[in-house]
Amino acid sequence: MKIEVTKEIVPVIEITGEVDYFRAPELESAIDDLILDGNRNLLFDFSKADYIDSGGIEVLIGTLRKISKVGRLNFVSSNDDVVRLLDLVGVSRYSTFSLFSSKDEAIEDFKEVLKKCQ
Amino acid sequence: MPVTDKKCSVNNEYAFASETKFLQQARNLVAEIATDCGFSEQIVFDIKLAAGEAIANAIEHGSPNGKSNSIKITCYCENDDFIVIVRDEGRFKKKLPVGTGDNVNFRGRGVLIMLALMDKVIIDETKSGTSVHLSKRYR
């Protein structure tokens, strides 16, 4: 697993490879740093990742709880298996979670949301 | 994966030291066997994920002596079922799911995933260790 954080309109966390139980704390640490810096809107680009287990799911749900109702998490993946798993474990039911098939779409969504907040 | 080589795609046992660095390799090995057995990509993902949950738990909780403990994985076909057995030398820690929806806790979520993706899951605890039997039926 490789994690790369870049700043666009919101922080983008790009994950490459497989997110599993023993690598998830590394991801959680990167996200916690962003939240500690005051970020509540986050974009997870999972388009180069093809596996996530309960450890990674726990980080996603933990993030959704930390950003609570004031932020949102836009998640990018077109991997059918990953999307199916997110549905299965209930991540997709969070009102602050949105799924996109491309990073551009996820960023456009944030632009719309942030425009409404101004 | 230091111990054994793959010899047959449908009936083999593998053993590896209980180290976190082997988790990805071990679950990918199970996925490779499931692929060889003719499962679709979607079912291979399910088997890989379920096996990965069992192996992760075995490494974390089934190894009272750390790296000197070993994890054994057996894969075979029996009648219409593809079976994966993960054996360790400790006690199973992921209890059955507690709560529902957003409130399902983490320990339960790993088991929930195994139960949801496989046709049968048996967790067998003995004094010498725990084995998790995962079964997927050929459709």
Residues in chain B: 139
- Cα distances (angstroms) measured from residue A55 to each of A59, A98, B87, B99, B107: 7, 20, 21, 18, 9
The two tokens of residue A14 are: 């790009």
Judged against a pLDDT cut of 60, whether residue B106 lies above it is answered with: no
**Residue range B85-97: average pLDDT?**
72
One DSSP character per residue, B76-117 reads EEETTEEEEEEE-SS----PSP-SSGGG--HHHHHHHHHHHH
**pLDDT tier for residue A81 given thresholds of 50, 70 and 90:** very high
Interface of B with A in 94-133 (CB under 8 A): 101-102, 104, 106, 109-110, 112-113, 116
Non-local (6+) Cβ contacts of B86 within 8 A are: B51, B54, B55, B58, B71, B72, B73, B131, B132, B134
* Domain A13-72+87-112 in this protein, CATH class: alpha beta
The reply to whether B40 touches chain A by the CB within 8 Å rule is no
Judged against a pLDDT cut of 80, whether residue B6 lies above it is answered with: no
**pLDDT tier for residue B11 given thresholds of 50, 70 and 90:** low
Q: Which residue in chain A is spatially nearest to B20 when comparing CA positions?
A: A22
Task: List pLDDT tens digits, range A49-76.
Answer: 999 999 999 999 999 999 988 899 999 9
Chain pair A-B, CB pairs under 8 angstroms = 56
Judged against a pLDDT cut of 80, whether residue B1 lies above it is answered with: no
Which value does ipTM take for this structure? 0.92
Query: Hey, is A22 helix, strand or coil?
Result: coil
Q: Hey, where are the domains in chain A?
A: 13-72+87-112
Query: Do A53 and B110 lie within an 8 Å CB cutoff?
Result: yes
A interface with B, Cβ–Cβ < 8 A, is 18, 20-22, 51, 53-55, 57-58, 61, 80-81, 84-85, 88-90, 93-94
Residue A96 and residue A73: Cα distance in Å, rounded? 6
At A14, phi and psi to the nearest 5? Answer: -95, 125
* Contacts A93 to B, Cβ<8 Å: 101-102
Q: Decide the pairing of beta strands A2-7 and A72-76.
A: unpaired
Mutating which of A54, A60, A88, A97 best tests the B interface, going by the most B Cβ atoms within 10 A?
A: A54
Query: Do B24 and A57 lie within an 8 Å CB cutoff?
Result: no
Query: Do A51 and B49 lie within an 8 Å CB cutoff?
Result: yes
Query: Across chain A, how many H-helices and E-strands are there?
Result: 4, 5
Rounded to a whole number of angstroms, the distance from the CA of A118 to the nearest CA of chain B is: 31
DSSP element (H, E) containing B132: strand B129-137
Q: Which among A18, A80, A93 is the nearest to B101, CB-wise?
A: A93
Identify the residue whose tokens are 């994920």: B49
Judged against a pLDDT cut of 80, whether residue A78 lies above it is answered with: yes
**pLDDT tier for residue B66 given thresholds of 50, 70 and 90:** confident
The reply to whether B20 touches chain A by the CB within 8 Å rule is yes
Q: Does residue A91 contact residue A59 with C-beta atoms inside 8 Å?
A: no
- Cα distances (angstroms) measured from residue A46 to each of A16, A95, A99, B102: 7, 19, 10, 22
Query: Hey, is A24 helix, strand or coil?
Result: helix
**Closest by Cα among B19, B46, A100, B126 to B30:** B46
* Strand partners of residue A97: A73
At B104, phi and psi to the nearest 5? Answer: -65, 130
Task: List domains and CATH numbers for chain B.
Answer: 11-137 (3.30.565.10)
The two tokens of residue A56 are: 């990674």
